Amino acid sequence: MRSIIITTFCIVLSLFVSCSSSTPVVEEIIDVVEGTPVKERPINVILMIADGTGLSQISASQFYNVNTSNYERFRHIGLIKTSSSSDLITDSAAGATAFASGIKTYNGAIGVDNDTIAKPTILEQLDRKGYKTGVIATSTITHATPASFYAHVRYRKMEEEIAEALTLSGVDFFAGGGLKYFNARSDKKDLLSQLQTKGFEVETNFLNTDAFLSPDKKYGFLLAEEGMPKMIDGRGPFLKNATQLGINHLSQNKQPFFMMIEGSQVDWGGHANEANYLIGEIIDFDDTLGYVLDYAKRDGNTLVVVTADHETGGFTLASDDGNYNIIKPTFSTGGHSATMVPVFAYGPGAKNFAGIYENTEIYHKITRILNR
């Protein structure tokens, strides 16, 4: 009798455990901090990636700005472990593939697993469900981070193949650099006209936030041969303007949308061990973040997830040899580091992003929340 009761209890318990582990945390109806009603399930998702951004980079966006940053507007914060399947320290390709496809893969892999088999990305899956989709980056649009959302190649340097994948993808709006991978290719193909035949208007000179964007067209902005200029070299508010234009375009049909927005060059400032470069880039990203959070607050149906693929530079805000009132930004490597990086979430479903988990969970959490 007793063993039957115990067995029954275990069955009930295991049912409960398996149930609860696959069911996301129920979201509150009222966001207690903002005081605004939020629905449990978001309609739109904006994933923002500041490449190479750990806590010191985010702290720099406070100390070197106005002592505060838009990151402070979040109440739901977590940490991710970023190792790839091949290395303790990930690169941006494996890091973005973890977010985009929910798998751990090898450094250099774009949207493919350890056996170089293509894995569907969240952008592709949502596109098939009728979402509008967008990718924005301050690197080439074919660089590892954005590429991992729409392309499947075995190695990140295959940017010509990645550009071709973009023309065949379901992306409705993109903005970034990388023009030469479309119009000065080794195979002489003209991908700009290929984009036009796919319904794109392509702009290679400037981005005007007041431009009329037809809901029936797709838009591509390729505003530099390679990466976009650095902020310290006068890039200006490209990231924020592209984000504004992209949100305007993708939201105008009242269809749900998914957007990936990358501050690509925080990473490059870290690799160069140039604090001024890095700080210019993180402040630019923070500015864009402010715009996105304002939009999400107005909209009420948009989940915003902000994170990084890894930290770059082993960056610290060290004291200047014991002078505790002077910060001396210091780097410990020209590469990436293995430290956990923070995740910030706002909007319906945001609570699910608290805790410490693997980078692949970004994909799984968003997917679970949308399928709720």
Could you write out the DSSP letters of every residue in 116-139?
--B---HHHHHHHTT-EEEEEEEE
Q: Which does 145 bind (CB under 5 to 8 A by kind): Zn ion, Mg ion, none?
A: Mg ion
In single-letter form, the type of residue at position 189 comes to: K
Q: Which stretch binds Mg ion (CB under 5 A): 144-152, 167-175, 202-210, 335-343?
A: 144-152
Closest approach, Cβ 300 to Mg ion, in A, equals 30
Residue with Cβ nearer Zn ion (132 or 143): 143
Helix, strand or coil, per DSSP, at residue 338: coil
For the bound state, the minimum distance from the C-beta of residue 335 to Zn ion, rounded and expressed in Å, comes to 7
CB 366 within 8 A of CB 126: no
Determine the 3-state secondary structure of 336 from DSSP: strand
Cα separation, 165 vs 121, in Å, equals: 13
- Residues near Mg ion (CB under 5 A), total: 4
Report, in Å, the least distance between residue 56 CB and Zn ion.
Answer: 15
CB of 24 to Zn ion, least distance (A): 32
Give the range of 12-20, 228-236, 257-265, 282-290 binding Mg ion by CB under 5 A: 257-265
- Of 87, 86, 111, nearest to 97 by C-alpha is 111
| Active site residue ranges | 92
Residue 92 touching Mg ion (CB under 5 A): yes
Question: Does 31 engage in binding with Zn ion (CB under 5 A)?
Answer: no
Near Mg ion in 51-80, by CB under 5 A: 51
Q: Which of residues 309-328 bind Mg ion (CB under 5 A)?
A: none
Q: Which of 44, 84, 107, 264 binds Mg ion (CB under 5 A)?
A: 264
Stretch that binds Zn ion, among 6-14, 190-198, 199-207, 264-272 (CB under 5 A): 264-272
Which listed residue (172, 262, 267, 361) binds Zn ion by CB under 5 A?
A: 267
> Could you give the CA distance from residue 121 to residue 113 in angstroms, rounded to a whole number?
12
Residue 150 neighbours by CB under 8 Å, 6+ apart: 111, 121, 123, 124, 135, 165, 166, 169, 170, 171
Question: What's 110's DSSP letter?
Answer: B
Of 27 and 267, which CB lies nearer to Zn ion in the complex structure? Answer: 267
Q: Which stretch binds Zn ion (CB under 5 A): 62-70, 145-153, 156-164, 267-275?
A: 267-275
C-alpha atoms less than 13 angstroms from C-alpha of 277 in its C-beta half-sphere: 18
Note whether 174 and 162 are within 8 A (CB). Answer: no
Can you give the binding site for Zn ion, defined by CB under 5 A? 267
